[in-house]
Amino acid sequence: MTQRNLYEVLGVAKNSSEGDIRKAYRKLARDNHPDRNPGDKQAEDRFKEASYAKDVLLNKKKRKLYDEFGEQGLRDGFDPDVFRQYRAYGAPGGRGGFGQVNLEDLFGGGQPRGGAQAWSGSFEDFVNPGVVDSVFGRGQRQARPRQEVVSQVNVSFLEAIRGVEREFLFQDPRGGESRQVKVRIPAGVEDDGRVRLREQGLDGGDVVLEVHVGEHPHFSRRGSDLLLTLPLTVGEAYHGAKVPVSTPEGEVTLTVPGGVKSGARLRLRGKGVKRGNTTGDLLVTVQVMLPTTKDDETEKLVDALEAKYEGSVRDGVQL
């Protein structure tokens, strides 16, 4: 992702509520969805940008990181506590005297630049704020247990369901040997799930990946179950229909019974999220959609349909 203002992508103010952000995203997603703009690469890019911006700004942790550090704070391997400590000692006027800090140093970009001193501590020192005094020469370093490194990884909604393989590069800030680690994010991982890589970090410590899962414009999750709101035409709801539905394992056919009401829930067993030896269900909520056409003929048809109701549809709806 290139650097840009995610609030401007959605056309909202920085102090906008989650409701405002959702509303802005839905409009952009509806206007630029690939299904409505086949072959339009610019619309597809706008849709992807809006989805990315929404994923960040509706996630409280990500939004907080973005507001403080920009998009660089969302990168895999970024540790805000480490960066704040690094900034405190590396920024102009900081106690460590390093001068100008290059954020790339946090992600394996080399030695701190622009200062008179060179970094002499270990990567373990760098990721452990508790030993800052020792690192910067204000005490003797003590033997201590190996430290774990916590990194962030962003995956899409579908990647979280199916599982995905990622590669990470952990590099010693001293410019020493780097370690490339290939990780399999397991199928069925949930938002804020954690994957531990034992003894895979530098100096033999563990690496813990905190997984952040993006949202989907149509599907959501509840544990191992997938949830989908499925639009139906009036005719499909009245007569019944066989409707294609997407699942993690491909498209299946859902049989909609005749006379189904909007809000009814249909279940496709075993078509949800697979986690270990169990698989959840796909829960489909029916939403009957009215025609969007506004003309005399449509009004006559609606009036004729209205006349077919027997009594009030709201009989008995009371406390």
Distance separating alpha carbons of residues 87 and 282, to the nearest angstrom: 47
Q: Assign a CATH topology to domain 6-58.
A: Helix Hairpins (1.10.287)
- Hey, do 6-58 and 219-306 end up sharing a CATH topology, with the first three levels equal? no
Extract the residue ranges of the chain whose pLDDT is less than 70.
1-3, 76-77, 81-147, 170-178, 201-203
Specify the pLDDT at position 226: 96
Dump pLDDT digits (tens) for 188-206: 998 888 888 887 766 677 7
Distance separating alpha carbons of residues 50 and 53, to the nearest angstrom: 5
Residue 234 contacts residue 293 (beta carbons within 8 Å):
no
Q: Where are the domains of the chain?
A: 6-58, 149-213, 219-306
Q: Is the CATH number of domain 149-213 3.30.565.10?
A: no
Q: Which helix (H) or strand (E) holds 4?
A: none
Q: Assign a CATH topology to domain 219-306.
A: HSP40/DNAj peptide-binding domain (2.60.260)
Structure-token pair, residue 130: 């508790």
Structure-token pair, residue 65: 């990181």
